[in-house]
Structure 1
Amino acid sequence: MRRFYQIVLFPLSALALLAGCAAVGPNYSPPKPPLPASFGEPPAGLGSGAVEVEWWRTFDDPALSALIQRALAANPDIGIAAIRLEEAKAMLRGSRQELLPSGGIALGYEKRRTGEAETPPDQPRQIETYRSVVDASWEIDLFGRARRSVEAARAQAGSREALLRGVQASVAAEVAAAWFELRGIGAELAVVNDISQSQRESLSQVEHLVNAGAAGEFDRLRAEALLRTVEVAAPELERRRAATANALAILLGETPQTFHLPAITPEREVLVVRRIAVGSPAALLARRSDITAAERSLAAATARIGVETAGLYPDVQVQGSLGFVAGSLDAMSGSGALSAFIGPVIRWSVLDTGRVRARIAASEARAREALIVYDQTLLRALGETDDAFKAYGAAGHTLGLRLLESAANREAARLARLRFLAGEGLYLDVLEAERTDFASRRALAVARTDQRLAIVSIYKALGGGWEVCTQVERDCGGADGTSKLPVAK
Structure 2
Amino acid sequence: MISQPVFSQLNRYASAALCAVSLAGCMVGPDFVKPDNGLHEAVLTPRQAPPDATRTSDAAVPSQWWRLFNDAVLAELQSRAQADNLDLQMASERIEQSRAQLGIAASELLPSVGAGASYAREGLSEHGKFVALGASSSPSDFWQLGFDASWEIDLWGRARRLREGAAAALEATVYDREAARVALSAEVARTYLQLRGTQAQLDIAQQNLTVAERTLGLTESRERNGVATRFETSSARAQVATIKATVPELLQRRNALMNALALLVGEKPRALDAQLGETLPLPSLPTSMPVGIPSEWAHRRPDILRAEAQLHAATADIGVAKADFYPRIGLKGQIGVEAFEGGDLLSWDSRVFSVGPTVYLPIFQGGRLTQRLALNEARQKTAALAYRQTVLRAWHEVDDALDAWAAQQRRHDELLVSYEQNKQALQAAERGYQEGASDYLNVLTAQLNVLASQTRLNDSATSATLTVVNLYKSLGGGWDPDALKHAPGAGVEGSAVPSSDAPVAIVSPVTSHTKASP
TM-score, normalised to structure 1, is: 0.94
Aligned partner (choices 10, 29, 35) of residue 31 of structure 1:
35
Tell me how far 1:6 sits from its aligned partner.
3.7
Match of 1:320 in 2: 333
Match of 2:513 in 1: none
Which deviations, in whole Å up to 9, do the C-alpha atoms of 1:301-341 show, x marking residues without a partner? Answer: 01001111111111112111111111110110101111111
Which deviations, in whole Å up to 9, do the C-alpha atoms of 1:241-261 show, x marking residues without a partner? Answer: 111111111100001133335
Please tell me whether residue 406 in structure 1 is matched to residue 419 in structure 2.
Answer: yes
Among all aligned residue pairs of Structure 1 and Structure 2, give the percentage whose two residues are the same amino acid.
Answer: 32
152-161 vs 23-32, greater mean Cα deviation: 23-32
8 Å CA contact 1:89–1:487 kept in 2: the answer is: no
461-470 vs 9-18, greater mean Cα deviation: 461-470
Tell me how far 1:272 sits from its aligned partner.
4.7
Between the aligned partners of 2:289 and 2:78, the Cα distance in structure 1 is 20
Q: Secondary structure at the match of 2:359?
A: strand
8 Å CA contact 1:54–1:468 kept in 2: the answer is: no
8 Å CA contact 1:115–1:125 kept in 2: the answer is: no
363-372 vs 400-409, greater mean Cα deviation: 400-409
Tell me how far 1:115 sits from its aligned partner.
2.0
Match of 2:78 in 1: 68
Between the aligned partners of 1:28 and 1:471, the Cα distance in structure 2 is 22
Measured at CA, do residues 468 and 412 of structure 1 come closer, stay the same or move farther in structure 2, by a change above 3 Å?
farther
Match of 1:267 in 2: 281
251-260 vs 1-10, greater mean Cα deviation: 1-10
Q: Secondary structure at the match of 2:332?
A: strand
Match of 2:256 in 1: 243
Between the aligned partners of 1:34 and 1:100, the Cα distance in structure 2 is 41
Match of 2:122 in 1: 112
Q: Secondary structure at the match of 1:163?
A: helix
Tell me how far 1:135 sits from its aligned partner.
0.5
Match of 1:90 in 2: 100
Between the aligned partners of 2:334 and 2:285, the Cα distance in structure 1 is 76
1:286-365 equivalence runs, <5 A: 286-352=299-365, 354-365=367-378
Tell me how far 1:102 sits from its aligned partner.
0.8
Between the aligned partners of 2:200 and 2:415, the Cα distance in structure 1 is 15
Tell me how far 1:109 sits from its aligned partner.
1.2
Match of 1:10 in 2: 15
1:89-488 equivalence runs, <5 A: 89-116=99-126, 117-119=129-131, 120-121=133-134, 123-260=136-273, 262-263=275-276, 264=278, 266-267=280-281, 271-352=284-365, 354-467=367-480, 470=483, 486-488=496-498
Q: Secondary structure at the match of 1:23?
A: coil
Q: Unpaired segments of 5 or more residues in structure 1?
A: 478-483
8 Å CA contact 2:10–2:355 kept in 1: the answer is: no
Between the aligned partners of 1:246 and 1:136, the Cα distance in structure 2 is 59
Match of 1:41 in 2: 45
Tell me how far 1:128 sits from its aligned partner.
2.4
Q: Secondary structure at the match of 1:466?
A: coil
Amino acid at match of 1:327: F
8 Å CA contact 1:37–1:280 kept in 2: the answer is: no
360-369 vs 338-347, greater mean Cα deviation: 338-347
8 Å CA contact 1:88–1:153 kept in 2: the answer is: yes
Tell me how far 1:49 sits from its aligned partner.
2.2
274-283 vs 170-179, greater mean Cα deviation: 274-283
Between the aligned partners of 2:184 and 2:478, the Cα distance in structure 1 is 9
172-181 vs 253-262, greater mean Cα deviation: 253-262
Q: Secondary structure at the match of 1:276?
A: strand
Between the aligned partners of 1:54 and 1:74, the Cα distance in structure 2 is 17
8 Å CA contact 2:66–2:189 kept in 1: the answer is: yes
Amino acid at match of 2:107: Q
Which deviations, in whole Å up to 9, do the C-alpha atoms of 1:459-483 show, x marking residues without a partner? Answer: 1000001118937999xx9xxxxxx
Which deviations, in whole Å up to 9, do the C-alpha atoms of 1:141-197 show, x marking residues without a partner? Answer: 111111000000000000001111111111111101111000000000000001001
Amino acid at match of 1:30: K
Measured at CA, do residues 115 and 473 of structure 1 come closer, stay the same or move farther in structure 2, by a change above 3 Å?
closer
Between the aligned partners of 2:382 and 2:41, the Cα distance in structure 1 is 27
Q: CA RMSD in A?
A: 2.1
Amino acid at match of 1:41: T
Q: Secondary structure at the match of 2:329?
A: strand
Amino acid at match of 2:164: E
Which deviations, in whole Å up to 9, do the C-alpha atoms of 1:331-360 show, x marking residues without a partner? Answer: 101011111111111111211161101000
8 Å CA contact 2:44–2:402 kept in 1: the answer is: no
TM-score, normalised to structure 2, is: 0.89
8 Å CA contact 1:182–1:245 kept in 2: the answer is: yes
Query: How many residues are treated as equivalent by the alignment?
Result: 479
8 Å CA contact 2:102–2:163 kept in 1: the answer is: yes
Between the aligned partners of 2:44 and 2:472, the Cα distance in structure 1 is 17
Q: Unpaired segments of 5 or more residues in structure 2?
A: 500-518
8 Å CA contact 2:300–2:481 kept in 1: the answer is: no
Match of 1:481 in 2: none
Please tell me whether residue 56 in structure 1 is matched to residue 43 in structure 2.
Answer: no
